[in-house]
Amino acid sequence: MSRRLSWVASAQDEATDFPLDNLPLCVFRRAGSAQAWRIGAGIGTQILDLRAAVTAGLLDPLSAALIEACSQPSLNALFALGTDAVGALRSRLQDLLAEQAPDTNKTAGCLLAQAEVEHTVPAQVGDYTDFLSSYHHAYNVGMMLRPNDPVLPNFHTIPIAYHGRSSSLLVSGEPVYRPRGVQRVAHGSNDTRFGPTARLDLEVELGAFIGPGNRRGHAIPVDEAGAQVVGLCVLNDWSARDIQSWETQPLGPFLGKNFATTLSPWVVCTQALAPYRTEPAPRRPEAPALDAYLQPAGEHWTYEIHLETRLSTPAMRERSLPAVVVSRSLFSRDSVWTFAQMVAHHTVNGCNLRPGDLLGSGTLSGPDVGSEGCMLELTRAGSKPLQLPSGEERRFLEDGDEVSITAFCERPGLPRIGFGQCVARIEQAP
C-alpha cells in the first residue's frame, strides 16, 4: 500500500474513496444556502473549496488561467484548459494537503465537511452522447429480440451511440420520476396503450468529460483522443423499456431514455486513474479488422474500474435491511471500446466536441451471472425476477426503489480510490 499521506485525518481511512491519491473534482455549495456554486476537491470526508483557496492565495503558483478557472461555478473552463492543466492543479492541491505541507492552517480554513454540502452536475453539459460498448449487453438484449442474430454486424466495426439529452442530467440524490408514454399492450402486439412505464430500468455506466474538444471539420486522431478525456464519473442511464421498445425503430431511443440520467457528483481525474491503466479487452474472434482511425498506432489502454450496483426497496428500508448488491461490472473487461476510440469515432466526420461534453460508456455488462448492467438482463426481461432479502421480487424498478452505483480502482501495491455514489430514488410522476 503506497498511499500518499495527508494531514486530513479522514483521508487516511482505509475505506475512503478519496485518499490524497484521488482528489476528485465537484461543484458544490453549503446545503440549503443560496451561495454561488463553486468548485471543490474531495479529500477524505472533506471538500477543499477552490474558490476560497484562490482568495487565500493558496493557488498563486498556478497560471492566471487556471486560477480564473478555479473560481468558476462549473468545471467547463477548467476542462477547456486540458488534462495537463488539470494535472497541474491536482499536483498543487496534493502539495497543500500532503502530510508534510507547510501552511496547513490556511488550507484547513478552506475545508468543509462533505456532509454539509449539496452538489450540482459538475459541468454545464452542452451535448451528451451515450454509446453501446459491451458485447455482453448487446448479446443479451439482442437474444431477446433476434435469437438467431443477436449482435448486429455494425457493433464490431464502430462504437454505436445515440445523442442523449443534457437538460435531464441529474446529480446523485435527485429523484427520478417514472415516465409515462405509449407502449405495447402485450409483447408482440401492435396495439398500444398510454400510461406510466411498467418496465423502468437502470443502466450501469461510466461517464467521460471532454476537455478542449475540437474545431468543426477537424477529427481527433485516436492516438490524441485519450488526452481529451479529463475525468470520469459514474452514470446511470435510466430507461423505460416498454416506451423504448415501441419508439426505437427506425430512429433510435427518444422518450424511453431522455427523461433522466443520473451522475455521481465527483469527477475522478485521469491523472488519478493513470496507475489503473490496463490493456483493453481483446477483440471478438468474429470481429473484422478495425478501420485505421479506430486503431491506435501507439499505446492502447483502458482503465480497470470496478462498478457495484445496489438496490433497496421501501420495505427493505422499513426493516433496516441494507441495500443488496445486484450487479458487479468491470469497465476494462466489459467495454470493447476505449473512451479514446469513442472520441475518435465521434469526431471522425468533423463533428465538434466542446469542453464539458459528456460521453456515456454504454451499459457495462460482463459475461457472468450477476455482472449484467441492467434489470432487463438481470431478470431476463422480467421472466426471472430478482429475489430480495425482504422476500420481495423485482422484475423492473418500482416506486420508492433506490438504486446506488459505486465504482472503485484497486490493485496490489496501489491505494484504493473510489468515485463516490451515484444514487437516486424512483418517484411517481408529479
Answer yes or no whether residue 127 interacts with Ca ion by CB under 5 A: no
Question: Strands (DSSP E) along 3-159, which ranges?
Answer: 25-30, 38-43, 46-49, 111-113, 117-120, 128-132
What is the amino acid identity at position 376?
L
> Reduced to 3 states, what is the DSSP secondary structure of residue 109?
coil
Nearest-approach distance from CB 236 to Ca ion, in angstroms? 9
User: 176-177 and 169-171: which strand pairing?
Assistant: unpaired
Near Ca ion by CB under 5 A, which window of 44-52, 63-71, 236-244, 394-402?
Answer: 236-244
Q: Which residues are catalytic?
A: 137
Q: Report the C-alpha gap between 78 and 38 in whole angstroms.
A: 12
Nearest-approach distance from CB 24 to Ca ion, in angstroms? 23
- End-to-end Cα, the chain, rounded Å: 49
Near Ca ion by CB under 5 A, which window of 134-142, 164-172, 230-238, 321-329?
Answer: 230-238
Are 195 and 180 contacting, i.e. CB atoms less than 8 angstroms apart? Answer: yes
Residue 154's contacts (CB-CB under 8 Å, 6 or more residues apart) are 160
Nearer Cβ to Ca ion, position 6 or 371? 371
Nearer Cβ to Ca ion, position 229 or 235? 235
Answer yes or no whether residue 237 interacts with Ca ion by CB under 5 A: yes
| Residue count of the chain | 430
**Interaction pattern, residues 131-160, with Ca ion; x per rule: CB under 5 A:** ------------------------------
Q: What angle do CA 121, 125, 126 make, to 5 degrees?
A: 160
Nearer Cβ to Ca ion, position 72 or 133? 133
Nearest-approach distance from CB 392 to Ca ion, in angstroms? 26
Q: Could you say which residues in the range 68-97 bind Ca ion, by CB under 5 A?
A: none
Nearest-approach distance from CB 376 to Ca ion, in angstroms? 11
Q: What angle do CA 161, 405, 133 make, to 5 degrees?
A: 25
Nearer Cβ to Ca ion, position 210 or 417? 210
Near Ca ion by CB under 5 A, which window of 19-27, 201-209, 276-284, 299-307?
Answer: 201-209
The number of residues that bind Ca ion (CB under 5 A) is 3
* Residue 119 CB neighbours (<10 A): 23
Nearer Cβ to Ca ion, position 28 or 209? 209
Q: Report the C-alpha gap between 310 and 423 in whole angstroms.
A: 9
Nearest-approach distance from CB 360 to Ca ion, in angstroms? 6
* 88 Cα distance to chain centroid: 23
Based on the number of CB atoms within 10 Å of its own CB, is 282 exposed (0-12), middle (13-18) or buried (19 or more)?
A: exposed
> Positive or negative, the Cα torsion across 99, 103, 107, 113?
positive
Answer yes or no whether residue 357 interacts with Ca ion by CB under 5 A: no
Near Ca ion by CB under 5 A, which window of 114-122, 187-195, 200-208, 264-272?
Answer: 200-208
Q: Report the C-alpha gap between 234 and 262 in whole angstroms.
A: 8
Nearer Cβ to Ca ion, position 130 or 242? 130
Q: Could you say which residues in the range 260-289 bind Ca ion, by CB under 5 A?
A: none
Kind plus residue range of the DSSP H or E element containing 311: strand 306-312
Are 345 and 371 contacting, i.e. CB atoms less than 8 angstroms apart? Answer: no
Q: Give the residue at shortest CB distance from Ca ion.
A: 237
Near Ca ion by CB under 5 A, which window of 31-39, 70-78, 163-171, 195-203?
Answer: 195-203
Nearest-approach distance from CB 203 to Ca ion, in angstroms? 4
How is residue 37 written as a grid cell? 456554486
Near Ca ion by CB under 5 A, which window of 44-52, 124-132, 143-151, 164-172?
Answer: 124-132
Answer yes or no whether residue 130 interacts with Ca ion by CB under 5 A: yes
Nearer Cβ to Ca ion, position 207 or 213? 207
- Of 95, 127, 129, nearest to 6 (Cα)? 95
Nearer Cβ to Ca ion, position 92 or 241? 241
> Rounded to 5 degrees, what are φ and ψ at 338?
-90, 165
Nearest-approach distance from CB 363 to Ca ion, in angstroms? 5
Nearest-approach distance from CB 209 to Ca ion, in angstroms? 17
Residue 381's contacts (CB-CB under 8 Å, 6 or more residues apart) are 144, 241
Answer yes or no whether residue 203 interacts with Ca ion by CB under 5 A: yes
> Reduced to 3 states, what is the DSSP secondary structure of residue 51?
helix
Q: Report the C-alpha gap between 197 and 179 in whole angstroms.
A: 6
Residues found near Ca ion in the complex (CB under 5 A): 130, 203, 237
